[in-house]
Structure 1
Amino acid sequence: MAISFKSIDEQIEILEKRGLKVEDKAKTKKLLLRSNYYDVVNGYSSFIQQSSDKYKEGATFHELYAIYAFDKRLKVVIFEYLAQSEAFLRTAVAYYFSKNYGADYLSSQNFIAQKAPKILGKTQKLIDFQNSKKATNAIKHYSKKYQQIPLWVLVNFFEFGHLNLFFGSLLPKDKVEILNYIADLYKEEYGKSLELLPSDFEIYLINIKEIRNKVVHDNLLLKYSLIKEYPANKNLAFPFNDLKTNTVFYTLLTMRLFLSKKQYIIFVNTIKNRVKNLERCLKTGDSKEILESIGFPDNWYELLTETQVK
């Protein structure tokens, strides 16, 4: 059976028949023309429905749209601090590799043998592409003037997947050196000793990349679960116990590996402010249920405030 096109007026009529109050139809029309009906309605309605085709008594389109807007605003916040996390990781990888090997990032002996061809090919392709551009960039400048590009310059052109691949291809001793540095900073910032295994850390990076992709492509974040579970680490999950390890919230905890305490305080408080804005718009929905859909425990803010956000 073919799916028929529905006008904005017909879309609103469907919502009203399902019990959703549309108090300002002119404004609702404008919002639905700017925001995909499927994204708004199919993505977030479950939070204010009593069944798949019936909204809770008193539920409004304003409330539904507020949940949709919260998801978007949360993604903006997460992206900002993921970018800061990524900058830290780029710096750490570039510093320790350069300390040990200089600009020898195209030498296979400095990487795990079976992984070397892929990372070397990808890196060379990136350099060639940037050098082929008409506009001047840092890679072209260093290539022309010095005939080599320092890794601390080149790494800024890596996409996050490229950065993950580079770290994953490093020799074990170099991974350990970088992770010991990260663990030392973590203890200094958060007061917790942390053993970071390269195999576990690479899963952290995979999951962070997964969340990053959801955020960058503006996909639905609420109700999302990660494909891989994080390896349990009580000093990374502190001060929480018995958390699911395949959630957005667990990812936000792992970002403490890359963010200073000051950065993390601002991050957490910004999320809390977004939650407060959402709660002002809720009539039938429950902010706890919404946050639980991405792994936030009931007392997430209070516990973080008591232990570190001071």
Structure 2
Amino acid sequence: MTIADAACAKRTIDLENYYNLINGYKQPFLDSTYSGSDERYISGTKFEEIHSLYLFDRELRNLFIRYILELENNVKSVLAHDFSAKYGHENYLKIAHFDISVKRWEKMTASQKIGAISALISGLQHEIARQLSKNNPMISHYMLEYGYVPLWVLVNALSLGTIGIFYSYLKQKDQNDIGRHFLTIYRNACAHDERLYNLKSLRNNMKPNSIRTLSLHGKLGIPVNSSNNPIYGKNDLFAIIIIFKTMLPKKSFDTFFMALKKLDEQGNRVDSPEWADCSGFYQGYALVLEKDGMAYLVDRDFNKVTEGYPADSVSQAGGMFCVAKGDEQTFLYMGLQETPESN
């Protein structure tokens, strides 16, 4: 790795922390063909490029946390409204309104499942008591005036994690799985300055924690694997964008998406020493032109997902990627279709 200004690099490391900066963002710049016991960077890698990726990810976190918090509030409101409309404002403390059947993926007995739901209800009661001890005005008002706290009031004091558990124990007909247990991982990454751009949502057993496949996955033309599941937009940052598109008000999503496009256009892209040119990312893909004159579509982890195309330059506009060679242009769309054109 080359360092253009050693003094500046030292100040940057002192300010940002070596572990957060280098260990967190070096992966795309490491030589994957090197088999030694240590690590080796791709020839020509610059310290400034790693720092650029770090700064880009910081801006991503700042952008995503705003809309995750907005969505969190929306999810709480929808849950409280739907549950209360079906069962009444004070009946969220009754086991009868939750699903006590044991699912095949739940490694527990019937008694343990009821115990888990009881623990949730106990936790809700504990939160009410905690808020009363803090003289929370809304909760105090309803408890003193009516003897109970409506769910639509209580949800404002509940964490997204507790909301996720509440979701998981709802009856199937009442459940909306979109985003369940999912946003918490990304919210925490944003809140604690953890790497976001390539974060994958995993369960405790390290298996993917995925959102459901939606019609939107198909409309976007995302490639599928051998199990017919989309290879992107399931347990990655792109999945968060899909959740935003599905659940945020249109005005909020449009504002978010414009900010995301602006961030992409600000120039905080990552250039590899092996590339002669590269496009911006769009929905998990980018075009890169290697120095041998071959262009490839790559994913967020820089894995090649298409064959190579002879090229002089590459570009991208929305979901359309352009490979130019002389007077001939080949266009790749989100569905990875090829459309050659000649001028």
Q: Fold conserved (TM > 0.5)?
A: yes
Name the one with the larger strand percent: 2
The letter for the 2-side match of 1:217 is H
Q: Give a deviation string over 1:27-61, Cα, whole Å, max 9, x none.
A: 3333222211011112212334446323532x433
Residue 276 (structure 1) aligns with: 265
Worse-matched range after superposition: 150-159 or 230-239: 230-239
The letter for the 2-side match of 1:116 is I
Structure 1's unaligned 5+ residue stretches are 1-18, 180-200
Distance 1:47 1:235, change over 3 A: closer
Residue 35 (structure 1) aligns with: 16
Q: Is 1:259 matched up with 2:248?
A: yes
Is contact 1:224-1:293 (8 Å) kept? Answer: no
Structure 2's unaligned 5+ residue stretches are 101-113, 203-207, 224-229, 281-285, 289-297, 307-314, 321-332, 335-343
Give the TM-score normalised by the residue count of structure 2: 0.65
Is contact 1:222-1:291 (8 Å) kept? Answer: no
- Aligned partners of 2:98, 2:265: CA distance in 1, in Å? 48
Distance 1:210 1:280, change over 3 A: closer
Q: Is 1:106 matched up with 2:93?
A: yes
Is contact 1:103-1:149 (8 Å) kept? Answer: yes
Alignment of 1:82-101 (within 5 A): 82-100=68-86, 101=88
Is contact 1:111-1:169 (8 Å) kept? Answer: yes
Identity of aligned residues (%): 22
Alignment of 1:49-128 (within 5 A): 49-50=30-31, 52-57=39-44, 59-100=45-86, 101-113=88-100, 114=114, 116-128=117-129
Q: Is 1:293 matched up with 2:320?
A: no
C-alpha RMSD of matched pairs (Å): 3.2
Q: Is 1:164 matched up with 2:164?
A: yes
- Aligned partners of 2:84, 2:219: CA distance in 1, in Å? 33
Is contact 1:119-1:166 (8 Å) kept? Answer: yes
How many aligned residue pairs are there?
259
* Secondary structure in 2 matching 1:105: helix
Q: Is 1:211 matched up with 2:186?
A: yes
Is contact 2:165-2:181 (8 Å) kept? Answer: no
Distance 1:166 1:281, change over 3 A: closer
Q: Give a deviation string over 1:70-102, Cα, whole Å, max 9, x none.
A: 111111211111111111111111112222212
Distance 1:56 1:266, change over 3 A: farther
Which is higher, the Rg of structure 1 or of structure 2?
A: 2
- Aligned partners of 1:76, 1:281: CA distance in 2, in Å? 19
Distance 1:38 1:240, change over 3 A: same
Is contact 1:237-1:250 (8 Å) kept? Answer: no
Residue 46 (structure 1) aligns with: 27
Alignment of 1:193-272 (within 5 A): 201=177, 204-227=179-202, 228=208, 229-236=210-217, 238-242=219-223, 243-244=230-231, 245-272=234-261
Q: Give a deviation string over 1:251-307, Cα, whole Å, max 9, x none.
A: 321222211222222212212222222446757476538961299x99997139x99
* Secondary structure in 2 matching 1:205: coil
Distance 1:238 1:260, change over 3 A: farther
Distance 1:260 1:291, change over 3 A: farther
Between the two structures, name the one with larger relative contact order (CA 8 Å, sep ≥ 6): 1
* Secondary structure in 2 matching 1:222: coil
Residue 150 (structure 1) aligns with: 150
Is contact 1:224-1:294 (8 Å) kept? Answer: no
The letter for the 1-side match of 2:183 is I
- Aligned partners of 1:261, 1:294: CA distance in 2, in Å? 31
* Secondary structure in 2 matching 1:250: helix
- Aligned partners of 1:278, 1:230: CA distance in 2, in Å? 31
* Secondary structure in 2 matching 1:21: coil
